[in-house]
Structure 1
Amino acid sequence: SSDIENVESSDEKEDYTEWIMAFDIGSEKFRMIPVPPVPKSEQDEYFSFNEFSLSVVDGCLAIIRQTDRKVKMWIFRDHSKENETSITSTSSEKDWTRLSIKFPSELTIKLRRSVIYVHSVSGMDQIILETYRNVYGHGNRNVKAAIFFNYDRKKKTLRKLEINGITSIPEVCRAECSTSIESLLSVGKKL
């Protein structure tokens, strides 16, 4: 006979909340932000926010999950920013905006198991998606090519970007996509 018992019941699992530890450079304070709820239909038995990545979209925290067919994103609009004394955020489900970018079926096979990097265009409703796919180069060598897509959040459209007429850039050319922010911290003037 064994004295080991399963400590985690199904009730306890539903009450479990995952958190993001955030540090505000301006106020020099830590706080906890609860991750957004994910419908049970999208979770399997191994589902965890460890499978997600963090990014910044429009100056807001974003959680990103990639599948073969789409990129799912939750963007955090901090409505409780004025409450700077609290270590635990009072954020709710309303603070998270969910976005799903679905790839056309002809791209799904080409992008299977490819990592997709997300870049926000600050102040605009544009998101740049960067990925690499295998192409055959000289002598049947496997070469990775960079591919960029533009997603318009208002129009909900996805289109492949061509850079100076080039539809894909070999990885050996070191293609890189990044966004520029004038300052990491807005410093208020004191008189």
Structure 2
Amino acid sequence: MPTSLLGLVLFLVLLAPGFAFTARRERVRSGRTLSAFRETTTVALVSVAADGAVLGLFAVLRIVFPSWTPDVGALVRAPQRYAVEHYAQLLSWGIGLLAVATLVAFAAGGRRGKEHESGVSAWTLLFTAHPDAAVFVGCLLDDGSYVAGRLLSFSRAAEDVADRELTLTGPITYRAPEKTETSLLPDVGATAISARRIVLLNVSYVPEDAPA
């Protein structure tokens, strides 16, 4: 572990690829709650892999274009002297390599591989079971009212947090509590529903090329 403030800063900076990977992955995958150990391990391993890949690229560039790259041998032999004399070059290359590693990790985090069902909430499974179809949702709420429409977006959070909600787009239909008739809301283009209010959730899948 780092024993100085500078070492701690460098340590955190080198973990930037891992942080970028997890941040991107949270946006495209279901919001599973992972243990702190697993999250830390993921950040560390991704950072090591991305930093290692970029250092490998630097090694190739050093062989092909030795005059364009920092002299690693001189840096190892006399690190303090070389750093003082070539601080601008070292800083620019360090920032550039770290930026490339972070971008690579960020791109890798955006891969939409199929998730195993055991790690995905039923909420997410319902809305992503047929990605090529339009998803229509009907929600029976805790006050007895019923709202239905086409799914526009939904929170991928696995836990029942306060901001876990879905949004529906028109045409929006609504049935008031203790009523039997459902009516179209002509002036409503979209609506948001809190997951905590939903008692029953019905989902229909309609092929996108189906006639209206």
Q: Shorter-chain-normalised TM-score: which range? A: under 0.3
Judging by fraction of residues, say which structure has more helix: 2
Greater relative contact order (Cα 8 A, min sep 6): structure 1 or 2?
A: 2
TM-score, normalised via structure 1 length: 0.24
Judging by fraction of residues, say which structure has more strand: 1
Q: Which structure has the greater CA radius of gyration?
A: 2
